Structure 1
């Protein structure tokens, strides 16, 4: 029985538009009883908001239990790391909520961790504070490496761009949580409950989705519906050295291949 770790933006929807056949794919794998999880590097939104957005755009019935965000994974990681309960947070409501729900105290006074995600209210003052705390011994946690994000037909700076400023000034490397990190992939595989080799990681980003899936020992399917397209996929594969198990122009193509393999 296969399981699925499924990216969202570029795979299930593009901005506020549904990806064709994505809704049918979910209905079909549900009908087969195949387990799946939506995995996103987005740290800005709580899982219930991610689920509501997916349902609103695609019509797919979704609840928060089917979503794992980089914010949730970051909160779990520092819970297991056990260096303390005080966190300086550079991020938005989804990250703050995940940390507070895990029992951490958000503070700008002698934190044990600096946890950083996308922050569209990022300022020089926040940069100065984050750097000061890290140079004083706080551990630097980066939710995801995305340098750019698609937004209404344009690209905007992502969490990775903010992290680059903090890393440069603090002269410290961060613990990376989101895709392609093994940390979030390990948590996602655990949630699916199958061996990694039985799980397909599906996404449109060859570096984060496919690279993370390969490193975790999963099967991989590059969806040519977002960052990767039929026109650029071979160039992306050549430039990254990352080759998915299959490429598909729609998720239903993947479903049909798996059904034929079971027949």
Structure 2
């Protein structure tokens, strides 16, 4: 049996618009009883909020089938914690709720960790505060490295763009949790309960989704509906130095390819 780790932004939707065939693809997985998990680098929403957002777009997915980079960051910190549990957070509700759910104390002073995700109210003051904590010895944890995200009006800066400023100012490199890091991939594969070789990673970003799948020993399918498009796909593949198992115009194309005898 195959399992599926599926990206969200640029794969199932763009902002508040569903991507064609996304609902049919999820319905197909459910009808065929194929195990799947929606794995997103977006740290801003909780799984429940993701589920609600998808439902508003006509895509019915339970919150239990959503795994975010915030959840993965909280899981990672729980494994590392020991007596260190003071966290200075730069991020939004999804990250705050994930950290609080596993018992971390969110603080403004003397943190053990600086945990950063996307923060659309990021300021120079927040940059300064994070840098000072890192200079004082806090461990830097980044939910995801995405420098750009697809949205309603086009691409927008992601958590990785904020991290670039923090790293440049502090000289401290973060522990990266989200795709393509093997950290989130290992957690997601474990949740599916399948060998990595039986798992397909499907996404629109060569540098995060496809690389994450490749380094984890999964099969990979690139869909040209988000960061990668029919116009830029060759440039994207060349810059990443990767060759996905499948390159598909959209999720319907993936279903057609997957159901051929070769697969």
Q: TM-score range by the shorter chain?
A: over 0.9
Q: CA deviation at 1:220?
A: 0.2
Aligned pairs, number:
262
So what's the TM-score if we normalise by structure 1? 0.95
Equivalents in 2 of 1:86, 1:261: separation in Å? 53
Deviations 1:44-99 (A, max 9, x none): 11110011111111x12212101011111001101101251110001111111110
What is the aligned partner in structure 2 of residue 75 from structure 1? 74
Residue 24 of structure 1 aligns to a residue in which SS? helix
RMSD: 1.4
Equivalents in 2 of 1:245, 1:262: separation in Å? 12
Where in structure 1 are there 5+ consecutive unaligned residues?
A: none
Q: How does 1:69-148 map to 2 (within 5 A)?
A: 69-83=68-82, 84-148=84-148
Residue 249 (str. 1) matches residue 257 (str. 2): no
Equivalents in 2 of 1:145, 1:195: separation in Å? 26
Q: How does 1:26-65 map to 2 (within 5 A)?
A: 26-57=26-57, 59-65=58-64
Q: CA deviation at 1:262?
A: 7.6
Does the Cα contact within 8 Å between 2:9 and 2:149 map onto a contact in 1? Answer: no
- The farther-off stretch of 130-139 and 153-162 is 153-162
Residue 149 of structure 2 aligns to a residue in which SS? strand
Q: CA deviation at 1:177?
A: 0.5
Does the Cα contact within 8 Å between 2:23 and 2:60 map onto a contact in 1? Answer: no
Q: CA deviation at 1:27?
A: 1.2
Equivalents in 1 of 2:135, 2:193: separation in Å? 39
Equivalents in 1 of 2:250, 2:227: separation in Å? 14
So what's the TM-score if we normalise by structure 2? 0.95
